[in-house]
Amino acid sequence: MTNSRLASDSLSDTPYDIANPGDLLRLYYEGAKLPSPPGGFLMVLRVQPEDDGSGSILLECATSSLRYQLDVPKATRSERKRVRDGMESGADPECPRHAGQLLVRMRNDLMCPKCGVRYARA
């Protein structure tokens, strides 16, 4: 633990981009462990909803404490429809990507607390 990066525990450190976000996203949606590029696993530090309806996830490598940002694409038209159809049938709105994860209300939208993505109007 001599790396000076480890001493600063600030979230303002610029995170690294993930080289193969598609693979990682798939694992993330499945609820699987996320392999860290330098080895070991990534922990989720923060899920952040973005202004355009997409999400971003701040990850930290459990071994190296390096941080990575994973961008989560916005809801597709068919995902939004699935959520809307579910709500119209009286079901609690679930994330179309995370099985069994209920959407939460954020201002006027419903978002997934794991994706940070907005899927419907509340």
Stretch of residues binding Zn ion (CB under 5 A), selected from 14-22, 47-55, 63-71, 112-120: 112-120
Rounded CA separation 14/78 (Å): 33
Instruction: Enumerate residues 42-101 that contact Zn ion by CB under 5 A.
Output: 95, 97-98
Nearer to Zn ion, 68 or 119 (CB): 119
Cα distances (Å, whole numbers) of residue 41 to 3, 20, 47, 83, 106: 19, 15, 17, 31, 30
**Is 114 one of the binding residues for Zn ion (CB under 5 A)?**
yes
Nearer to Zn ion, 13 or 23 (CB): 23
In terms of Cα–Cα distance, which of 15, 14, 32 is closest to 23? 32
Nearer to Zn ion, 66 or 116 (CB): 116
Nearer to Zn ion, 58 or 66 (CB): 58
Q: Which of 34, 112, 119, 120 binds Zn ion (CB under 5 A)?
A: 112
CB 40 within 8 A of CB 62: yes
Least distance (Å) between residue 101 CB and Zn ion: 5
Cα distances (Å, whole numbers) of residue 121 to 7, 9, 108, 117: 42, 36, 6, 12
List residues near Zn ion by CB under 5 A: 95, 97-98, 112, 114-115
